[in-house]
Amino acid sequence: MATLARLQARATFLAHQYYFRSSVVDLFRKKEYDAAVKIQSWFRGCQVRAYIRHLHRVATTIQKWWRSYLGRQQYQVVVKLASCAMKMNLYNAMAVRIQRRWRGYRIRKYCFNYFYLKEYLRAVSETNDAIREALEEFAEMKEREEKKADLEREEKKRDYQARKMHYLLSTKQIPGIYNSPFRKDPDPWELRLQKAKPLTCHRPKVKQKRYISLSSWLACTSARSFPRSEILPPIDRKRCQGPFRDITEVLEQRYKPLEPTLRVAEPIDELKVAREELRRQEWMRNVNDNMFLPFSSHHKNKKYIPLMHSSSKYGPNSYGSQHFRDENPRKWICDKVDYRPVLFQWQD
């Protein structure tokens, strides 16, 4: 009972003490809570970072093994391709060697027989020698024939000359120029003149006069005025002496058809005439002469937009329309300008 009485006596003190201690604890509760949260966050961060490092190590190990597996597979593919390429190169080299041996054997046996070719070349050489000898003989024969023809031509020329100069032959009374009395032997031309016969002069035949009637003259003039391809010029017409062209060529040039140039063949105002013709045809097709203008004022509802060149506050540029060069009257030497400046003058 005494203890209960003591406790009841101390109840108010205990209440104040509890309140005081609770208030003191409340002052440090926020700080301790923040500290606990910070400690927990740091600890959890350490755990998470350790777990992430573990995951990184595991992922690195997995990637290492996977990449090594892929690398081994790729290496095996590369090795396989290299092995196939080496084998193909070896097979190709062996095939080339076999083909070379076989082709050499085939060419030597069937196509390029050495002994047969040697015999063929010997026969060709003999044939060539025979042909060359025949050609040389033929050339010598041709040369002899040409020399003989030249000699015959010279002989004929000398005989003709001797016949022309037969009047120079010596007579019993008077010696000729080729039989001089002061020489022991006469000239060879004297003997040739004695053997030759005098050259006779052929008189031209007398042509009978042709009586030209009026009908033949009209036919001739009509043929000349309107030549035809089937009618030839007269054969018995005597050609004029001199360096003149043939009559047929002159007539062909004279009566050839006209070949006008483009300027002469076409009128100079062809474009204007074509436009007039087109306008006339369009006018002929029109049903009514009045022009149909249903939308003649459709543009009046639009606002007029002035040009930037004319609406600028600076005004239009006078260069090119009023002047082509800046003028400075203060730099003129005299008051009168004898020329019109047309170039641009740069000012310093």
Cα 27 to Cα 29: distance, rounded to the nearest angstrom: 6
- Cβ neighbourhood burial of 191 (10 Å; 0-12, 13-18, 19+): middle
289 CA to centre of own chain: 56
Residue with more model confidence, 246 or 124: 124
> Which residue in 43, 65, 61 sits closest to 53, CA to CA?
61
DSSP, collapsed to helix, strand or coil, labels residue 42 as helix
Rg, the chain, Cα only: 67
Other residues' Cβ atoms within 10 Å of the Cβ of residue 170: 16
Looking at residue 333, the DSSP 8-state letter turns out to be: S
Other residues' Cβ atoms within 10 Å of the Cβ of residue 178: 19
Cβ partners under 8 Å of residue 197, min gap 6: 163, 166
Q: Is the pLDDT of residue 222 over 50?
A: no
Across 87-101, 116-130, 199-213, 222-236, the highest mean pLDDT is recorded for 87-101
| Percent of the chain residues topping a pLDDT of 90 | 32
Cβ partners under 8 Å of residue 324, min gap 6: 341, 342, 343, 344
Summarize pLDDT for 262-316 with one digit per residue, the tens: 777 777 888 899 999 999 998 888 776 666 655 556 556 667 777 776 777 776 6
Looking at residue 298, the DSSP 8-state letter turns out to be: T
Summarize pLDDT for 88-143 with one digit per residue, the tens: 999 999 999 999 999 988 888 888 778 888 888 999 999 999 999 999 999 999 99
Q: Is the pLDDT of residue 203 over 90?
A: no
Give the model's confidence band at 335: pLDDT under 50 very low, under 70 low, under 90 confident, else very high. low
Across 22-31, 103-112, 146-155, the highest mean pLDDT is recorded for 146-155
> Which residue in 329, 328, 327, 325 sits closest to 342, CA to CA?
325
176, 190 in Cβ contact below 8 A? yes
162, 189 in Cβ contact below 8 A? yes
Helices (H) and strands (E) counted in the chain, each on its own, are 9, 0
pTM: 0.29
| Token pair 């022309």 in the structure block, residue | 164
Per-residue pLDDT, 233: 56
Residue 108, strand partner residues: none
186, 178 in Cβ contact below 8 A? yes
Cα 82 to Cα 76: distance, rounded to the nearest angstrom: 10
Cα 155 to Cα 149: distance, rounded to the nearest angstrom: 10
Q: What is the mean pLDDT of residues 230-257?
A: 74
Residue with more model confidence, 58 or 343: 58
Cα 34 to Cα 308: distance, rounded to the nearest angstrom: 74
Cα 324 to Cα 314: distance, rounded to the nearest angstrom: 19
Cβ partners under 8 Å of residue 180, min gap 6: 186, 187
165, 193 in Cβ contact below 8 A? yes
| Residue 46 structure tokens | 């350490």
Per-residue pLDDT, 228: 52
Per-residue pLDDT, 223: 46
Is the CA virtual torsion 276, 282, 286, 292 positive or negative? negative
- Count how many residues are written for the chain: 348
